A = this chain, B = another copy of it.
């Protein structure tokens, strides 16, 4: 993708640092993208970081700062003089400052708030009030607002005047004197209009907007669905208070997908990258689920214990327990994961429950029968004939295969129902994924297995 090779570049940088060739270092860094410079700075040893950071021109420095990891940001702030801190804060957009405030320890936050200008401080406190997953928490308060009566010429003048302080100029928002949102004008519309056109005439009065308390995931999906670059956010009194921009929406989508994936694998989500998460935090995010699921497996133990007689009579039955459990678990998690993703993407609603069950039942019957036939053939040809397992009689094989059909059936049905029920009662469907379904399906499959065995083998 990039024209430079990152390892070669790091070596070159280190060489220049050794030789203290600061001017060349600066010339090397300045043309790069802020996100790339941040990646380089994040890799530097602690004592070199402030040195290299101070080489950057003021505006670029602030852009780089935003992209850095919290640990490095904290380190830098601690080396900043009050003036330097103020310079960086002045360049940041409000939503970036809020992100920073959320990540830093209390002492650093205090310093940040002291040095932010009063208006920014007010905005920060405003945004911090919104719950973590709300639209309000990810919005920025810097946008271009226009009035209905302005001409296109006035509007463009206003953009030119305020443009450097607003996060996006792609959309301008038209408000009335009490800040109610009346419409939007895209920069494209402005450029294609005549200079004396009036904003009220060319604005689009049908605005899709979010409310401060909307779920940030829904907001991100609206941006994606409508192909917008920003979405206005209004408060409970319908006053425009901020906008959510598409870059933040992309981050939200990525974070939410990661969270879903983690929950599906029985991990409590964390928002730190893996390599920057310490061992104890990883342990804490994993052990509750492992313990819970381990204890839940007591039920499968009890089922097996209560069929001990059947197992002593037909020891051959034990050998198929793992296969039956795994197949049930896999069949169930296929259904549950498909449904969970559908729910996340709003492709599925609770009202589709019967449709989903009916679809899964048909898929289950097809899968179950295919697996049973394949398994019967395999048991008779490979296990019995080839490997000479004579205790594997056709009746035993029949018990295994019938169990397979019924287990896959139950697994798919349970797998699709549980996430939808979870959603309905307000739980997170993602928790109802593989590990959870597996534990339930294990118990079901063992019960079916021993019931068929008792019935067909006359134990």
Residues of A in contact with B (beta carbons under 8 Å apart): 1-2, 31-35, 156, 159-160, 163-164, 169-170, 187-188, 191-192, 205-206, 208, 210-211, 214, 218-219, 222-227, 229, 246-247, 249-251, 253-254, 257-258, 260-262, 264-267, 273-275, 279-280, 282-283, 286-287, 289-291, 293-295, 297-298, 300-302, 304-305, 308, 311-312, 315-316, 318-323, 325-327, 329-331, 333-334, 336-339, 341-342, 345, 347-348, 352, 355-356, 359, 362-363, 366-367, 370-371, 374-375, 378, 382-383, 387, 389, 408, 433-435, 438-439, 442, 446
The verdict on A338 contacting B226 (CB below 8 Å), with A160-B191, A279-B362, A326-B293 known, is no
Q: Which residue of B lies closest to A265 (CB)?
A: B337
The verdict on A261 contacting B337 (CB below 8 Å), with A192-B164, A294-B371, A330-B293 known, is yes
Most buried by B among A327, A338, A378, A383: A338
How many copies of this chain? Answer: 2
A323 in contact with B300 (CB, 8 Å): yes
Chain B residues near A258 (CB-CB < 8 A): 341, 345
Most buried by B among A2, A311, A337: A337
Q: What would 16 more interface pairs be, CB under 8 Å, given A1-B214, A169-B187?
A: A1-B219, A2-B208, A223-B250, A249-B250, A257-B261, A262-B338, A262-B341, A264-B264, A267-B338, A286-B363, A287-B371, A291-B370, A294-B326, A295-B374, A297-B327, A308-B318
Most buried by B among A188, A321, A330, A359: A330
A192 in contact with B218 (CB, 8 Å): no
